[in-house]
Each structure stands twice: as C-alpha cells, then as structure tokens.
Chains A and B, each alone.
Chain A
C-alpha cells in the first residue's frame, strides 16, 4: 500500500530574541522522518517540549517548516503557497486539544460544522449534511442550533470531530484530544474514533502524551524526545519490548493499577532540557541511566533494527537493564 503521508527530515525552528537579548534558535522539530499509510493510525508520543504538537501543525502547514519535505499522497506540500494549499486542506484535517478554545464561541454549532462545506463550496444541502455529521458523532441533529458553551467537554470534542469529518478527509491529526476529558468520557471518544476510522477510511496522526490512550487506538507508535523520533514500532511490539531507554522509562513511569505493590519507576536525572539548548551527542544522554562515552559524542541515527522497528540508540542491539526500586503505600 502506498504511503498517504511521508515526512522526510522535517525541521521547524524558531528564532528567539533579537535586538535586546541573545539570538537563540528553538529547535521544536529537529529532523523527523515518518510514514503513515492510508487508513492507519500512527501515534506520536512525547512529553512537553518534545515537539509533537509542533510536528502535527507543521505537517498541516499551520506552521512553516524550516527544512524537509511533507509529501501527501505523492505531492510535496512543504513549499506550496497557502492559496495553492487551500484545496488540499479538504484531504487533511485536525482536531485540537482544547474543546473549549477550538470552537468559536460566537457561532452556533451548525455554522461551525457547516463552515468547511461552505468554504470549499461542497454541493448539496449543508443543513442536512450537518445533521448527518452530528448524528454520526453521537449528537442529536438539534445540537446545530446551540452554542458551544452549552455542551460538555466531551460533546464539544465530538463537534470538533464532526467539523473535521465534514470534508471527508483522508488524514486527521488528533492533537491531544483526550487530555482534558474524564476517564469514562475519554473511552467513549476513543471508541467513536475507531468506528469513524473504519466508516470514513481515515488515517490518524494521533498526538498524545498518554501512552495508555495510545495503546488502544494506534497501529504504530513513534516516541519523540526533544524534537526527534527516538523509537518507532508497531504498537504491541513497542509496549511489550521497548528498546530505547527513554521509551522504557516512559512506559515504566505509568502507574498501572494492575501491578499494585510492585511499581518501580526508574529514576531520571533532572528535567528535560529545553529545545533551545539541545545537548550534543545523543539528546537523551544527560538523563539516560545507561549513557556511555559514545552517547556523549555522536548522535545516534534512527535505524531499522527489525522490519518496521526503528530505534535511535547506540546501545539498542544490547540494551543493559534499568535498575529500579519499588514504590508503594
């Protein structure tokens, strides 16, 4: 199957400072390669400062890439002008993190969901299409006449999903869409996304900080650290045997209810450095419990260890085991 989306060596850098302060470069996304096949889900996981959100927005050209290529269905869109990009926006949509901020508070839900239809002059009765979309995401058609503030967080996220679906895109970027939702509501939204993926033949780029949410929705997972992918693998493989030390730490940091009494999160040194000040060598080495001399000197390539499994770690072939001790009440 050909790739729907191919990203090659993508970089998004910002210039900070200027006249009064020292000029610095913030390397939010710093050389990302990834491939997403149609109707598949690729999760991009990382903590704050990893660049995952910037990556999603750069792929949609809501932010301008500094370097690299973004190929959507064979067409390089990384240098297209915004007006020439506009027709392509039908094919790629986004759902944002904050359901309270992503819907214009002064518009009715009907107008919000119909807006993409109107902008792209989709033929047909927009009122009817909006009603169908709302029902498809589990809201009554009468929701169209109400304002966003009349809905709960989960319902607003459904409205945002309906808007993203309106143009029948091939790709939807889901940016932390479950992070503000309560557990039971979160599960409902994830279930809806799975249904919609099959019905609308969607590919998702699922951006999240929450590994456990990612597990239930994605085919593949890419782990980002300070602007780069450090590991990418099919979901189950990644969860069963994470190879990069950062992935191991990330996974072990989640307190799972199942293993009560035997949770032992590994100790990480310090906090993540800022993307303004990326360490030389492997960018994880100052915090890595396994770092060795080579890690301080050379940046490891993201290389294929097994089919579909890429890791950027010098020690990936023979990883030592992390030392741990237990945390319990």
Chain B
C-alpha cells in the first residue's frame, strides 16, 4: 500500500473540517475525493502534504506513506518529500504562480531543490515536458510572466512542475475548476495521458462526478468532514448505497444545507436532509460498514 490514512481528524479552531477519515491508495491507483464546497476534501489533500493552513491542525490519526508515518516528521523531512515524492496540482493556477517572476524560474525550483539541477538544466527538462504537453513554443512560455499566459497554459505549467521530479503520489486539487469546458477537456486528456505513462498514484479532488467517472479507479465521498462512502468507481456510479451519494449520482435535488461540524458528531451529519431518515440517525453517528468488495458505507441503513 502506497498511502494509508487512518482516523484522520483536522480542526480549524472550533470547526471540525475532517472527522475520523480513513482510506488507502495503492501504487498507480487513482482515488477521487468528492464532496461539495466545505465538505473537507481540500483539507484532506492538504493534510497529505502536512500543509493544512493556519489555524488548522491535524488533531489525530496517522498518514502512512511508503511505510513511514508523516505526522511525526520534521519540517525539513517534509520539505524533502513535498514536490519530490508527493506533488500538488493546485486549483487556481494564477494564485499558485508568483506574478513577479518568469515562468522559467518558478518552474525549475523543484528540480533545483530536489534533483540538484542548475537553472539551465532545469529549463531544458521543463521545455521538454511542456513540449510533450502540447505547448507549441515551450522556450517562449518559460520566458513569460504568469499573467501573459492563458488559464489553460498556466495549468499546463503547474502540471509540468508537479510531474517534473517524478513523484509517486500526486494530489490534484480541483485542477480544472477555474477553466472553461473545452480547456478542461484538454487538461483532463493531458493529465490522463501523463498519469497512465508514469503510473503515478493520484488523489483527485473534485466535485464533478463526470471527471470522477473518467479518471478514477476508486471514489471516496465526503460530507461535512465525514467520509460517508467509498467504493470502486463503477460501484459508486452504478450502485451507490449512501443516500447522499445516491442524490449526487442520480442528480436529485436536496433541501437544506450541509452542516458545519463543531465537535465529534453525535448524529449522522446528513440526517436532516436525508430522504430515508430513521430515529437512530439523530442519536448516533453511523459506524463505517463494509457492504461489498472494497465498498464501505457509514449509514444506519446497512
């Protein structure tokens, strides 16, 4: 197992962003982390890099990557991992690039840091990567400033940076949310290609079930910080068990709002919106049950 997350709980002060989440990721596997905004999916992604922003804190749990628990590691040990072993493709490519520096300089940071390449060597590696990604004149792109590139080009650059050091785990945090549909399609096509070439295990954070369907092997559904269901992608799409997953997959409108957790849940967080609510749903948090091959649900129905 490449990555094993157990009982992960992340708090932002009073607010519980992720509660008792557990999942695994095998070599070369793509896991979709799905949820609506505020469900905690980005927080999980950040926690894997130990980059939960202030005042967030990983309260408990274990993140085992290649047999090593990441939580006790020092900042220096983590820095050696980040960008080299575990890479991130961020959501907003414009915000992720420093407007004051040329692309070439920022794109070679990881190579200089982790591979000891000079800027010139790094530029060469990046240029080849960008050319493979369909950027017509990569040398020219490297000479430009971030605002001079289109959104799709910027995201290509960030993908190239993520792949540049040959990571074994990739965290893609809604990498296409800010892009137009046609650009999104190009980027997804590119990502799928690079991924199957390199075989990098990927945690794909998204709210789009369409992307999940085409790019992932397994799916974990987050709701109000809790992992409510996980299963192979076919199973999630064809036979979802949790009522929330069913609403997502079958495009059913739901009343009400996702609650914000403030303490250990004493009820199912979905109960007040659930069409199949029972008495027990308001009095006990449902435990995770295995209902099929690799299929786990946290719901009192099962």
Binding site for B on A (CB under 8 A): 47-48, 152, 154-155, 182-185, 187-188, 190-191, 209-211, 249-250, 252-261, 263, 265-268, 270-272, 327-329
Contact = CB atoms under 8 A, between A and B. Distances in A.
30 contacts: A47-B183, A48-B180, A155-B257, A182-B36, A183-B36, A183-B209, A184-B36, A184-B254, A187-B252, A188-B253, A209-B180, A250-B182, A253-B184, A255-B185, A255-B211, A255-B214, A256-B213, A257-B237, A260-B213, A260-B214, A260-B233, A263-B213, A265-B185, A265-B188, A266-B185, A327-B192, A327-B214, A328-B192, A329-B192, A329-B214
A209 B181 CA distance: 8
Interface in B254-268: 254-255, 257-258
Given A256-B210, A329-B214, 20 more contacts: A47-B183, A155-B257, A182-B36, A182-B207, A184-B248, A188-B254, A210-B181, A253-B181, A255-B208, A260-B214, A263-B214, A266-B185, A268-B185, A271-B152, A327-B193, A329-B30, A329-B196, A329-B215, A329-B217, A329-B233
A271 B183 contact: yes
Nearest to A263: B214
B27 interface: no
Interface string B185-202: 110110011011000000
A265 B186 contact: yes
Contact of B213 (A209, A211, A257): A257
B224 interface: no
A47 B253 contact: no
A190, A268, A329 — which one has the most chain B CB atoms within 10 A of its CB? Answer: A329
A272 B215 CA distance: 25
Contacts of B214: 255, 260-261, 263, 327-329
A272 B189 CA distance: 18
Contacts of B247: 184
Interface string B26-65: 0000100000110000000000000000000000000000
Nearest to A265: B185
B110 interface: no
Nearest to B210: A255
Nearest to A154: B257
When A and B form their complex, which 6 residue pairs have the shortest distance between CB atoms, in order from nearest?
Answer: A255-B210, A265-B185, A182-B36, A187-B253, A253-B185, A47-B180
Nearest to A186: B253
A183 B248 contact: yes
A183 B251 contact: yes
B18 interface: no
- Most central of A185, A249, A328 by chain B CB within 10 Å: A185
Nearest to A49: B180
Interface in B222-278: 233-234, 237, 247-249, 251-255, 257-258
Q: Is the interface of B mostly helix, strand, loop or mixed?
A: helix
Contact of B181 (A47, A154, A188): A47
Contact size range, B:
35 or more
Nearest to B202: A329
A248 B136 CA distance: 25
A152 B37 CA distance: 11
A191 B185 contact: no
B87 interface: no
B255 A188 contact: yes
Contacts of B152: 271
B152, B189, B233, B249: most-surrounded residue (chain A CB, <10 A): B189
A19 B258 CA distance: 53
Contacts of A185: 36, 254, 257
A269 B105 CA distance: 27
B189 A152 contact: no
Contacts of B193: 327
A258 B250 CA distance: 10
Contacts of B257: 152, 154-155, 185
Given A250-B181, A329-B214, A271 B150 contact: yes
Contacts of A191: 253
Given A329-B30, A329-B216, A268 B253 contact: no
Interface in B48-93: none
Contacts of B136: 270
Residue in A152, A191, A253, A268 whose Cβ sees the most chain B Cβ within 10 Å: A253
Contacts of A328: 192, 214-215
Nearest to B248: A183
Contacts of A184: 36, 247-248, 252-254
A329 B212 CA distance: 9
B213 A268 contact: no
B160 interface: no
Contacts of B189: 265, 267, 327
Contacts of B180: 47-48, 209, 272
Contacts of B192: 327-329
Nearest to B212: A257
B153 interface: yes
Contacts of A211: 181
A47 B183 CA distance: 10
Nearest to B254: A184
A47 B254 contact: no
Contacts of B196: 329
A234 B167 CA distance: 48
Given A47-B181, A184-B248, A260 B237 contact: yes
Nearest to A188: B253
B37 A182 contact: yes
Of listed A155, A252, A261, A265, residue having the most chain B CB within 10 A? A265
Nearest to A246: B182
Nearest to A266: B185
A260 B215 CA distance: 9
